[in-house]
Amino acid sequence: MKVIITERIAQAGIDILREKADVDIKLNISRDELLDAIGQYNAIVVRSSTKVDRELIERGKNLKVIGRAGNGIDNIDLDAATEKGIVVVNTPESNSISAAEHTIGLLLASIRNTPQANSFIKAGNWGRSQFKGNELNGKTVGIIGLGRIGGLVAARLLAFNMKVTAYDPYIPDERFKYLGVEKKDSLEDLLREADIITVHTPKTEETYGMLGEKEFTLMKDGVRLVNCARGGIISERALLKALESGKAASAALDVFEEEPCPDNPLFKLDNTVVTPHLGADTVEAQDNVGITIARQVLNALEGKLVSNAVNMPSLPDRDMEYLKPYMVLAEKLGRLYYQLEKKSVSKVEIKYRGGIIDHKTGPLTLAYLKGLLEPVVKERVNYVNAKHLAKSRGIDVLESLDSTSSEYTDLIEVKVSNCESSFVMAGTLFGMKEPRIVDLNGYKIDMEPSSHMLLVKNDDKPGVIGCIGTIMGVSKINIATMRVSRNVKGGKALMVLNVDSVVPRDVIEMVKKVDGVTEVNFIKL
């Protein structure tokens, strides 16, 4: 495995990568040089400066992983990576505490005029009247975005005896209650009430410029603003106007619309406190980021589940360990369809039943689609692009959860529809570890999905099993297990043989000629 690192990460992270991969560190590589070189690498690790756009991704013919040492992914073309089946991983929690603490530090420095006073005294002056500030005690703070960092900021500001409010339409009410934060149903309500506004949302089409001139008119006179999230969420033009007019008393900024920006007019104002994107710049955060991104990249390169994949469902460690065997089961269920049916798929309906519904089931759906599509598409199929590829082939994917009981503790039921009919299958785990297929298009069966299986559909009558057993023995094919299921006595039966080796075509033809046999399929899982 070959990895290129284009921006600085902690040495501890580099050491972890070098245990299993060849690592090239090229911190000052030019755009043209990177475009020429990227084709030889399986992974690239960047921070916020390197542009991993569609052009670079198209050139990266061997790329499997893009690692972002940090939280935001503004510099990565997520759609292009997903289409190519490239895993994008980041480190959203590794620098959360540092970013939250920097927010508090900038806020305190801003309301107490600390940097201005520091410069004044160090210049040989003395005086304090011009640096009179304000307390946080009793003030109302409005937090825009109550995710990881927003929640940490809220907890710290509550300790200052502040009234903490927040606006985040994507966060459930339970989190607001858990944090002790008053929920605002609209951004406008928050803006009207807050003495201090701090931003903690990602930069998206929805959030870019979300605090513009219109929003400033709703704010209190003398409002104070903090942005340690992403540049551009607060319109710099609107902010400059508010600071110059006195509408805003101060602004504390760690991020900007363009970086670097030494000529930014905001820097010339006395009522701004600015830092050069330092939110994650602590020794502890950088070590955490470097170590975490290294482990995530290696796990992704080795085909393992990763907890911080941006372009597939993320999983807490608890869910990941629980779901691993179910993902194996789901993928094997997916592999069955095209080996038994030759009709194109129009719809896949997956129902999850039992205790499994208490966990995130999105990765299981991806695992099923990966197994379904791998035999029939030319592109590399993985957990990242499986749903994208299904959509591009016109396959509707529906997921549902069912809390009603069944004869199994947990069950994954799948109905695959084609232009003529549908095919149903279901699987579960025995002992929470061993995958079993328990329903195959209406046949109830205890079927262990193994590497080599022979599925035989035949008339339910004496002698068929013996004939097939004899053929396997004469052909030197060892049968590990055999299961037989029938729907109706005297009707059709399904025989499943787990065998130790590939069944050659001539042997399959011999089985087809057995009296009563109507269908034979050799399955590889």
Cα separation, 216 vs 226, whole angstroms:
14
Residue with structure tokens 């050659």? 504
Q: Are strands 87-90 and 140-144 parallel, antiparallel or unpaired?
A: unpaired
Q: From the candidates 47, 200, 224, 230, which is the catalytic residue?
A: 230
Tokens standing for residue 296? 């995530």
Chain center to CA of 171: 17
> Do the beta carbons of residue 523 and residue 334 sit within 8 Å?
no
Round to the nearest angstrom and report the end-to-end CA distance of the chain: 27
Q: How far apart are CA 321 and CA 31, in angstroms?
A: 40
Q: Is 259 a catalytic residue?
A: yes
User: Is residue 102 among the annotated active site residues?
Assistant: no
Reply yes or no on whether 200 is catalytic.
no
Contacts of 188 (CB under 8 A, 6+ apart): 218
Choose the catalytic residue: 259, 284, 302, 519.
Answer: 259
Please, which residues have CB within 8 angstroms of residue 1's CB and are 6 or more apart in sequence?
20, 21, 22, 42, 43, 301
118-147 per-residue burial string, b: 16 or more CB within 10 A, e: under 16 = eebeeeeeeeeeeeeebebeebbbbbbbbb
CA neighbor of 363 nearest in space, from 346, 382, 377, 347: 382
Dihedral angle over CA of 456, 462, 466, 469, nearest 10: 10
User: Could you say which of 277, 436, 452, 483 is catalytic?
Assistant: 277
- Residues designated catalytic: 230, 259, 277
